[in-house]
A and B are shown apart, each in its own frame.
Chain A
Amino acid sequence: MVKKNRNVAIVGVGQTYHKRRRPDVTQVELINEAVRAALKDAQLDIADVDVVVHGNMELFEGTYQGDMWHVDGDGAYMKSGIRITTGGTTGGTLVCATDNIVTSGLYDVALCIGFEKMEEGEATGGITGMADPLWFRWMMSGALSGASFAERLEALTMEQLERLELVAAKLRVQLADNAARNPYAHLRMKLTIDDVMNSRLLVYPLRLLHMCPESSGACALILASEKKAERITDKPVWIKDHVTTHLEDFVVGVITEAESTMRRCARKLYERNKITNPLKQIDTFEMYDPNVWWHMDWMTEFLFLKPGENIEMIAKGKTALEGDFPINASGGVVSTNPIGATAMLRVAEAALQIRGDAGEHQIPKEVNTAMASSFGGSTWSILNLLTKEKPM
């Protein structure tokens, strides 16, 4: 078990309605919408907050000291503040870092904010322009540059591939159905298997509808120390543990480790929390799934599934909202992707499920334990473990 100085709970959850474009607001105003929602949810005033932790993907906002630019909206005026940018994982790192500073005893009530207004920045320009300058920048073509399936695809027969494509399409339809029940989700379209199978091919076998969108939106969470949390809300969601793992390859393509960061991250989390059967001991999983192929692959990695078990689970609807082990009841990242907020939304949605406050996309079965993952370059993984029961 990880040694925490004191327990920390999520006591407020706020997010914006996520859309492709929000020309009606500035970044400051967009962030303010999420902050306002989180404060309202926690029934707190900004004066009750001790510290503001702010983050997004570096360079996507296109200003220096974004945390200072956003002060009017995020409520950090004359408060302590920290800016965190860890790429795609930022939202997850924000939660980890905020949990750390509250458990440390430095602050009692902390507000953390992840955001991205992707219509304003140039995401692909940012990703490609910032890759390793000596070896990789010249050929980096965006978030898909590193998406290699060759070692998997070569081992499959045509028949197996066709079956996989069908399951990928079914999964995408399932996630679209979930998103349709989540009023905050960006893509809330009704999809059919044919829609998915016939969408434009990007990198075989990845099609346009397999891929996450670019969204504009923000998420804010309020974390509080045990004593404060129990005074603020009767439904605290406890942050029991979190683990962060990296791979050494900053230059994509250098594979020297047999075990993925996802598996390594999960192994450590399970060991520390005595989880021997994740499918039984965890009630739902909010996964950072940039596309449905990675969603399928990472199920195996994060949940220690047997070969083919992921495909069986999806085919049988076990990961659907009403299934035994719902994954991404929110619609996931393939439905909503304001990058700096994306990983935090996984934690926020997991917390709402534990509280029973997810509304139309609430999982019908009881949710006591939920796991949320973060993903970023290069294959950087974070897992946050949330519980209804207060950790010992």
Chain B
Amino acid sequence: MSREEHNKWAYSIPGKLALNYIYYLGDFNTKFFTELRDNKRILGVKCPKCNRVYMPPRSVCGRCLSKLDEWVELSDKGTLLSYTVVNYSEPYQPTAPPIVYGIIKLDGADTGFTHLLSEVDAEKLRIGMRVQAVFKDKREANIQDIKYFKPI
């Protein structure tokens, strides 16, 4: 039975949650996003104790709780660790389907992060393929300043 048919006898009350959250980047993340916006540079951060280079960067190492401030410039090129292709459409999605999500480990980083892939034939996606960041022309200091990654 459809919702419309249910609603003929099952009365309901709409929810009203529409909360205007705002999230501050903080001093630490501001450095990352300013570099991304102004210089198209992607910075990771190195934990002096674990020797791990994090991307996305973070000011505290979750593993050992060290304070992190050793910035490392990463390449805009990296390796695809995993991917998935979404073929259906939903209003919350960032772009129209097919959407290719990938986990990319940038050269110089020890961790992968999730972003979009484009300019790619879904059939040709392979774990381990090399990809490169494509930056937006008009950048606004958020992670979407990287438009997507494309195969190289």
Known A62-B19, A129-B15: A120·B60 in contact at CB below 8 Å? no
Q: Mark B80-121, 1 if CB is under 8 A from A, else 0.
A: 000000000000000000000000000000000000000000
> In the assembly, what is the distance between CA of A126 and CA of B18, in Å?
9
Known A129-B15, A133-B15: A46·B24 in contact at CB below 8 Å? no
CB distance from A328 to the nearest CB of B (A): 30
Within 8 A of B (CB), among A19-55: 22-29, 32, 35-36, 39, 46
Binds B, one of A68-76, A190-198, A334-342, A372-380: A68-76
> In the assembly, what is the distance between CA of A24 and CA of B19, in Å?
22
Task: Please give, as numbers and ranges, the residues of chain A lying within 8 Å of B20 by CB-CB distance.
Answer: 122, 125
CB distance from A335 to the nearest CB of B (A): 23
Binds A, one of B25-33, B71-79, B134-142, B143-151: B25-33
B17 on interface, CB distance cutoff 8 Å: yes
Contact of A120 among B13, B15, B24, B29 (CB under 8 A): B24
Contact of A29 among B15, B18, B21, B59 (CB under 8 A): B59
Closest to A70 in B: B62
Q: Which of A29, A39, A121 has the most CB of B within 10 A?
A: A29
> In the assembly, what is the distance between CA of A323 and CA of B20, in Å?
44
Contact of B24 among A26, A71, A130 (CB under 8 A): A26
B9 on interface, CB distance cutoff 8 Å: no
A227 on interface, CB distance cutoff 8 Å: no
Please give the number of chain A residues whose Cβ is less than 8 angstroms from any Cβ of chain B in the complex. 33
> In the assembly, what is the distance between CA of A174 and CA of B19, in Å?
36
CB of B23 within 8 A of CB of A120, answer yes
> In the assembly, what is the distance between CA of A137 and CA of B15, in Å?
9
A77 on interface, CB distance cutoff 8 Å: yes
Contact of A46 among B18, B28, B58, B65 (CB under 8 A): B65
CB of A72 within 8 A of CB of B21, answer no
B64 on interface, CB distance cutoff 8 Å: yes
Closest to A133 in B: B13
CB distance from B53 to the nearest CB of A (A): 15
Task: Please give, as numbers and ranges, the residues of chain A lying within 8 Å of B25 by CB-CB distance.
Answer: 26
A155 on interface, CB distance cutoff 8 Å: no
CB distance from B91 to the nearest CB of A (A): 19
Please give the number of chain B residues whose Cβ is less than 8 angstroms from any Cβ of chain A in the complex. 24
CB of B28 within 8 A of CB of A62, answer no
Closest to B65 in A: A46
B8 on interface, CB distance cutoff 8 Å: no
CB of A122 within 8 A of CB of B21, answer yes
CB distance from B137 to the nearest CB of A (A): 28
CB of A29 within 8 A of CB of B19, answer no
Q: Mark A51-66, 1 if CB is under 8 A from B, else 0.
A: 0000000010010000
Task: Please give, as numbers and ranges, the residues of chain A lying within 8 Å of B29 by CB-CB distance.
Answer: 26
Task: Please give, as numbers and ranges, the residues of chain A lying within 8 Å of B22 by CB-CB distance.
Answer: 119-120
B3 on interface, CB distance cutoff 8 Å: no
CB distance from B25 to the nearest CB of A (A): 7
Task: Please give, as numbers and ranges, the residues of chain B lying within 8 Å of A129 by CB-CB distance.
Answer: 15-19
CB distance from A322 to the nearest CB of B (A): 40
B6 on interface, CB distance cutoff 8 Å: no
Contact of B26 among A29, A39, A78, A133 (CB under 8 A): A29
CB of B19 within 8 A of CB of A28, answer no
User: A26-B23, A75-B65, A122-B20 provided; 4 other pairs, C-beta below 8 A?
Assistant: A26-B24, A62-B21, A122-B21, A125-B19
Give residues in A with beta carbon < 8 Å to B.
Answer: 22-29, 32, 35-36, 39, 46, 59, 62, 71-73, 75, 77-78, 119-122, 125-126, 128-130, 133-134, 137
10 contacts between A and B (CB under 8 A): A22-B24, A28-B59, A29-B28, A32-B59, A59-B19, A119-B24, A121-B21, A128-B16, A129-B16, A137-B13
